[in-house]
Structure 1
């Protein structure tokens, strides 16, 4: 590895022209010769800079609508030649190849083109070929060449050159090379995953996923674990795209829980009714609708006030002053909402550690996409759980038909159960959860825990009756035995929504009939591990 490498000749070819002219001027001021192509060359010339066309170097014009312009030995030889190898130097001299010391390339906007919903042919035309080839060549030869693929690295490059007298150091070039290889890997991952969908290949032989660093984190789930947060380039509204208005830096657990909260509250459209979800350790401890956000928050809080302490709050409408005042009465880690008015922001400003995130929109619960998680030696990939049901999808299996208010609460409970760790049991009454049982090894245990929490809250709230009296209950998967359903009936539930499909469905239906319950099957389950 050589030491400092002076930059005397640079090739610039960028799709994103942000900062291009300033970079070109700074390089020219240091006496760097500029080579360029197409629109990049024009932008530099329009700024009064002297630029040499790549076509003058290769002896070939850009052709085939720009598909062929840099794929030439005069370019790749200039990038790949080992300057300290006599054979390489002889080849350069023999073929008239001049060294290229700096490559600045950002790629055709393939990801953005796909995100806009462009047709197949347009997406294909936005697959860059020459750019990745040059980037990989320069990165491979980082012993001698600096390669820049991100606009964010323009300033560090110029600072390095200023400090090194127009040169770059080996460590700096190695860092640039790592970023370059990561960029081409991410680009190829985006193309291959899009192509899998376009070719209708559900399980391609090879899968690749990539991300861009959003922020290093102080630590992961625990202080001894290093961690960072990456964005995957998705346009889905949520914690990754949200703007943090105030508060201290988000932690690993904050981000995980905020994502869970926002995905849940997005089940409830803003034009339907105000809705609030409170999350603790990735499980909801209260979800409710209301005439106002403040009412929805209060009803969600009353489901489990103990667990809500230090939780994450998600809202389906812009945060207002009344709701902000109510939230600041309890200790909350994060609030995420589509927006926040000036009064709400002013109220939160007095709570400097409280994080406020705004997303501008809700996530679409019906949207597709992939979800993945790592396991030892590999990772699991599946479609996002975007399953939804309507009243028309329900099959009544008991003698008693559900009443209108029961049906509304069952559909509400079903949406919440989708976001509760299995085994999931959710009691709901009048559009608010009143008991949630999550993550138990036995479904009957989840049913009992949820009922017990409701009993505890009855004491806290000074209620004459346990909130589960007259409630409905949702189960994310079928009741394998009648015991869980009987427990729900003993807690006061009067209607049940569950997938059905157990070998003992007849036994469970008979128990429901004996208890005078109405029960519907959805034919869909929502396991969440």
Structure 2
């Protein structure tokens, strides 16, 4: 038990006994039990309105604040705690002779603890209430008492959350009815963060209302902010990170918006900075794929761009061979396992060490498949008990498992700090659907199969979460080539097109028949097949590569590759912005593209449309640019 110190003028004390508490809460969760505990510690209870009634109904003795102050509540309850006897009791410095003399003259008494909640302003806004109703729910007395109590935390204890009750009870029980300075400081810091968040919400809402008045002819589709109002943002720390993007970038931390939780709960492992960026993008992608196609979806992310993404579409016999799925296991693949298997096999070299997301609850079959792959973590809406145990054992128990927050609301407007500047924009919440792929088909070939529509949706949503410039190719519900972050659009097409060729050639009979020795690891087999397709070995590299086989494989010639690639067809391509020239279409024709989606809007649209007609492709304009930076 800490020693209770006697206060002297100007000093701080460690443990301060609680003798009088003021209670005024809108959230009455646990307040009766907490107040009963305080009463058991001989704490005098002051209270207001509905709180006082609830405590009396529970059989407790409570003094009304109006009785304590000698001033009745007035102005429809707007004035009840704004009184010198309240704030004097909270702000007086214990041990200060002048303060104590003045308190005696004015009939004031020390108030050692304040327990309060603020009026539910944000909840009132979210309910769609009028501006007048929202303004009426701006708390005045609550923040005033909170600030007075928190400012004088050397002697007073501010309690703002029912979640704090248990800790305070335990501390008072251990300290003869008192609280320690360390606890009071921590509670004060949280209290000031609460008022900052509260004022931020008020300022933001009033700014949005002002913006509507400034542009009455065209009300904004989402609330916007006027440039004439300062916009405060308040964050609360959730957990520290080992470091940021690089080991020398310390300290690093994850914070949530005050009053809101994170989009994920950490079930296992210790996520890093880039892990969580990948998780945020990967999760949004699969949610939108599920919404856009109606199929279970998965994605495989590396460095904040997808290596692959897919929806659950059955595998062909050749795909089973290429992806090392035994024929007898194909029919038992669950939609989640099938979606992730396809996502991972879009580009298995780039997916090495990925962070993945699955739109549906992860089952045992998905977990068993994932356990075989080199991966850092996963985010999903939930896990079966069997799947969770399997995944927890991965990577020696370090595999990162995140569970997405149900019905998480990220907000309409997002903010980002870069080099001392804060950027603000409406969140890119557009979800592309079948309607976007069929509303404006501009080519001579103007029919899209259901499979083509599905693949165009998959490709378009995937590139929405790919660092721009970006294009993506899709086939059979999966990405088969993603080109990210190139300054030239045709370079994106060439980069992604090379990946398409590699994906397709992985199904070549000579690739499928490579005679691996027993014991060659799965990822080594993946890499060896890709290098066989590429074929540009150094002499030293070829020696090590051939050592993986029971006999040296016969080369896959350029002629054989070209002949096999000529059979490729039915592939879809989507671009995050318009094609500025036909060169992208010319190159896409080399890898079997039959369907094209792009926003349109370029002066070169007629030229690009003509190129599609030349190759017999169908092209739609979505009208939506999807840059992602």
Length-normalised TM-score, structure 1: 0.88
Q: Which residue of 1 aligns with 2:104?
A: 93
For residue 423 of structure 1, the aligned residue among 448, 462, 469 is: 469
For residue 139 of structure 2, the aligned residue among 111, 115, 128 is: 128
Residue 69 of structure 1, CA deviation: 1.7
Aligned with 1:425: secondary structure? Answer: strand
For residue 590 of structure 2, the aligned residue among 486, 490, 497 is: 490
Show CA shifts across 1:237-256 (max 9, x none): xx924444x42233332222
Q: Which residue of 1 aligns with 2:39?
A: 28
Residue 452 of structure 1, CA deviation: 1.9
Show CA shifts across 1:184-213 (max 9, x none): 001111222233344545223211222333
Aligned with 2:269: secondary structure? Answer: coil
Contact map agreement 1:266 1:362 (CA 8 A) in 2: no
Aligned with 2:337: secondary structure? Answer: helix
Show CA shifts across 1:92-129 (max 9, x none): 22221222222222222333444455565554443322
For residue 385 of structure 1, the aligned residue among 428, 431, 447 is: 428
Aligned with 1:512: secondary structure? Answer: helix
Q: Which residue of 2 aligns with 1:290?
A: 312
Q: Distance in 1 between matches of 2:160 and 2:411?
A: 30
Matches within 5 A, 1:326-337: 326-337=369-380
For residue 3 of structure 1, the aligned residue among 5, 12, 35 is: 12
Q: Which residue of 2 aligns with 1:397?
A: 442
Structure 1 residue 444 and structure 2 residue 528: aligned?
Answer: no
Residue 492 of structure 1, CA deviation: 2.6
Q: Distance in 1 between matches of 2:126 and 2:169?
A: 33
Show CA shifts across 1:235-281 (max 9, x none): 7xxx924444x422333322221111111111133681121122222
Q: Which residue of 2 aligns with 1:137?
A: 148
Residue 39 of structure 1, CA deviation: 2.9
4+ residue segments displaced more than 6 Å: none
CA 1:328–1:390: 2 relative to 1, 3 Å: closer
Structure 1 residue 308 and structure 2 residue 351: aligned?
Answer: yes
Between 1:151-160 and 1:271-280, the stretch displaced more is 151-160
Q: Which residue of 2 aligns with 1:213?
A: 237
Aligned with 2:366: secondary structure? Answer: helix
Gaps (5+ residues) in structure 2?
1-9, 213-223, 314-334, 513-560
Contact map agreement 1:421 1:439 (CA 8 A) in 2: yes
Structure 1 residue 68 and structure 2 residue 79: aligned?
Answer: yes
Structure 1 residue 355 and structure 2 residue 400: aligned?
Answer: yes
Structure 1 residue 369 and structure 2 residue 390: aligned?
Answer: no
Length-normalised TM-score, structure 2: 0.75
For residue 610 of structure 2, the aligned residue among 489, 510, 514 is: 510
Q: Distance in 2 between matches of 1:470 and 1:12?
A: 69
Residue 362 of structure 1, CA deviation: 6.6
Q: Distance in 1 between matches of 2:140 and 2:568?
A: 62
Contact map agreement 1:283 1:419 (CA 8 A) in 2: yes
Structure 1 residue 251 and structure 2 residue 251: aligned?
Answer: no
Contact map agreement 2:21 2:111 (CA 8 A) in 1: yes
Contact map agreement 1:427 1:474 (CA 8 A) in 2: yes
Q: Which residue of 2 aligns with 1:153?
A: 164
Contact map agreement 1:339 1:360 (CA 8 A) in 2: no
Structure 1 residue 500 and structure 2 residue 600: aligned?
Answer: yes
Q: Distance in 2 between matches of 1:477 and 1:468?
A: 25
Contact map agreement 2:577 2:598 (CA 8 A) in 1: yes
Aligned with 1:319: secondary structure? Answer: coil
Residue 382 of structure 1, CA deviation: 0.8
Contact map agreement 1:263 1:363 (CA 8 A) in 2: no
Q: Which residue of 2 aligns with 1:276?
A: 298
Matches within 5 A, 1:402-413: 402-404=447-449, 405-413=451-459
Q: Which residue of 2 aligns with 1:223?
A: 247
Q: Distance in 2 between matches of 1:275 and 1:117?
A: 34
Aligned with 2:290: secondary structure? Answer: coil
CA RMSD of superposed structures (Å):
3.0
Q: Distance in 2 between matches of 1:161 and 1:514?
A: 82
Q: Distance in 1 between matches of 2:619 and 2:457?
A: 12
Contact map agreement 1:497 1:521 (CA 8 A) in 2: yes
Gaps (5+ residues) in structure 1?
none
Aligned with 1:307: secondary structure? Answer: coil
Q: Distance in 1 between matches of 2:236 and 2:408?
A: 21
Q: Distance in 2 between matches of 1:124 and 1:102?
A: 28
Contact map agreement 1:2 1:144 (CA 8 A) in 2: no
Contact map agreement 2:88 2:103 (CA 8 A) in 1: yes
Aligned with 2:78: secondary structure? Answer: coil
Aligned with 2:356: secondary structure? Answer: strand
Show CA shifts across 1:153-172 (max 9, x none): 33444455456554445454
Aligned with 2:110: secondary structure? Answer: coil
Contact map agreement 2:310 2:339 (CA 8 A) in 1: yes
For residue 318 of structure 1, the aligned residue among 361, 368, 371 is: 361
Between 1:347-356 and 1:67-76, the stretch displaced more is 347-356
Q: Distance in 1 between matches of 2:608 and 2:444?
A: 13
Q: Which residue of 1 aligns with 2:539?
A: none
Matches within 5 A, 1:155-234: 155-161=166-172, 165-201=176-212, 202-204=224-226, 205-224=229-248, 225-232=250-257
Between 1:86-95 and 1:253-262, the stretch displaced more is 86-95
